[in-house]
Structure 1
Amino acid sequence: MKNVAVLYTCHNRKDKTLSSIRSLFEVEQIEPKNFSLDVYLTDDGSTDGTSEAIQKEFPQVHIISGDGQLYWAEGMRSSWKEALKGNYDAYLLLNDDVELYNNVFDQLAKTHKYSLDKLGMEGIYLGATEDKTKNQLTYSGSLLKNRFLYKLKRLPPNGQFQICDVGNANIMMVAGTVVDKIGILTEGYSHGMADYDYTLTAGKANIPVLIAPQYCGHCVNDHRDHYENFANKNFEERRKVLYNPTGLALSSYKKYTKKFFPFRYPFVVFFAWLKLYFPKIYLNYFRK
């Protein structure tokens, strides 16, 4: 894969976004002859000078402007749609808080070769990330252990190529032939779930989703507990958390469940009602 489009989206995280892009171009300098990169970034209405800072330090980055309402999923779709106008062998989705390790492209290239040699086709390749301060896994791919209960087991890199069912797109390379088969991220998600949807869609199309053998970058898991003090909030506050794209994102979760786990859909609707009207019952008896 010689020509790679790198996809970002961002919103008011200037320092983190710049650090991530710096790490990307630092890695490129290590292996300048092995591949070429074009970077597409959707700035979703940042007011902290992110676009201006990127243009000054990295004028080669293609910046697309959002209206502040795209969130992660639609922001990444925006970048991906722009990149489709070019001619690329692969698309690398990166979260803007990830700082890449020097091995990232070597790991992804080896995973690509394994997919071709052992599985006979191109696929989706995940680079796991870690929290260096805590020395623990943050994002990777997961096995779906129980479809009815929706139990996932996140897999740390173990030195081997691992097949998984769903994956986080913090570092996710998608071969061009995969896009030819299943397209880009599904429309209609706001913030989260779009990467899980995409990898499950790939699995249904018999496209391999693989985790690279070693960690490829670091970032912290900064997702806060949305159930903290949930029962003490008033009705409107709970409703806001329930539907907020960066909260519990019920609309996206219902879409995801209905598409892949339709037998669970009635339970999702019921528990959403329970969270809204009887939060203490939900928290005390159903959230373990």
Structure 2
Amino acid sequence: MKIAAVLTCFNRKEKTLNCIKKLMNQRRDIDIYVCDDGSTDLTSEAIQELYPEVKIIKSTGGLFWSKGMFQAMKAAVVNNYDFYLMVNDDVDFYDSMLDIMLNSYKISSENCAIVGSTQSVISKDLTYGGSVLKTKWNINKKMLLKPNGEIQKCDFANWNCFLIDNFTVDHVGLIDNKYEHGIGDFDYSCQMKKKEIPIYIATDYVGICERNPIKNTFQDHTLSINKRLSLLLSAKGLPIKSYMRFYWKNYKLIGVPFCSWMYLKMIMLIFLKQKS
């Protein structure tokens, strides 16, 4: 069985090295592909020294997450693996992670994807994983599902830990590299749904990953209105080009008003100095 782990990184060397170490600790052989998006903290050099077998795809910067994952995934699929494991480098994986993911895939008895759930190190609360929509069109109205010992079907998958088989890659392709940073993982979930390829949540938690803090983001109501508006439209916020692309690509005309309402609501909350 051939398995490739795919990730992208930028200037968080210690987290990237720990992620690679934890991937190496899995009880199966994994080929690792890392896109380094122009790190200046010697991430690539440290990887080459400690893990010379890791395949590094270097960029001069500006790819952000979706484009970085596209480059690493593109390099991996050339070698025609049985499975591709998409990960974020800030996840501290349990040594049983890959066994849990592969066993969950086996339970499904079909071509599918498996999303691994992560939890907080202190509270043990669910932080990332698979979610179901609470309302049909609004991706901001979704609920994460907790692992319960069985596989559970979901609508969207965070790519903190996401296992797809060769069948899925053959039918869906690579992650869309037109997105400015995030939402490429949710777009991939939509593309899988169009191809009638299901996504299941793994039976148990696969690692530790804290939620991204809201400090110094557009959700930080202690910042000025102008600063929050700037962050809202930045690549790491809710860039209009990316979100309009997502809603148009996946929902066509009916998605436009929902996308527009999302921005209107966010801007109203910012002006009201409330947490959005």
TM-score, normalised by the number of residues in structure 2: 0.91
Question: Counterpart in 2 of 1:59?
Answer: 52
Structure-2 separation of matches of 1:207 and 1:181:
9
Task: Tell me how far 1:270 sits from its aligned partner.
Answer: 5.2
Q: Corresponding residue for 1:37?
A: 30
Q: In structure 2, which of residues 49, 63, 66 is the aligned counterpart of residue 70 of structure 1?
A: 63
The whole-number CA distance in structure 2 between the counterparts of 1:36 and 1:87 is 15
Contact kept, 8 Å, 1:231 with 1:279, in 2: the verdict is no
1:131 to 120, 123, 127: 120
**RMSD, aligned CA:** 2.1
Matched residue, 1:245: 235
| Aligned mate of 1:142, from 109, 124, 131 | 131
| Aligned match for 1:256, one of 246, 250, 253 | 246
CA distance 1:270–1:209, change in 2 (3 Å): closer
Q: Counterpart of 2:94?
A: 101
Partner of 1:36: helix, strand, or coil? coil
Match of 2:22 in 1: 23
One-letter code aligned to 1:211: I
Tell me, in whole angstroms, the C-alpha distance in 2 between the residues paired with 1:64 and 1:171.
20
Give unmatched runs, 5+ long, in structure 1: none
Q: Distance in 1 between matches of 2:262 and 2:152?
A: 34
Distance (whole Å) between structure 1 residues aligned to residue 193 and residue 262 of structure 2 = 28
CA deviation digits over 1:145-173, x for unaligned, max 9? 21144421110111111010101010001
CA distance in 2, matches of 1:107, 1:201: 25
Amino acid aligned to 2:132: L
**Partner secondary structure for residue 39 of structure 1:** strand
Q: Which runs of 5+ in 2 are unaligned?
A: none
1:251 CA drift (Å): 2.2
Letter in 1 for 2:219: Y
1:7 and 2:17 aligned: no
Q: 2:197 corresponds to which letter in structure 1? A: I
- The answer as to whether partners of 1:131 and 1:218 remain within 8 angstroms in 2 is yes
Contact 1:141 1:168 in 2 (8 A): yes
Contact 1:93 1:171 in 2 (8 A): yes
Cα distance 1:230–1:266, how it changes in 2: closer, same or farther (>3 A)?
A: farther
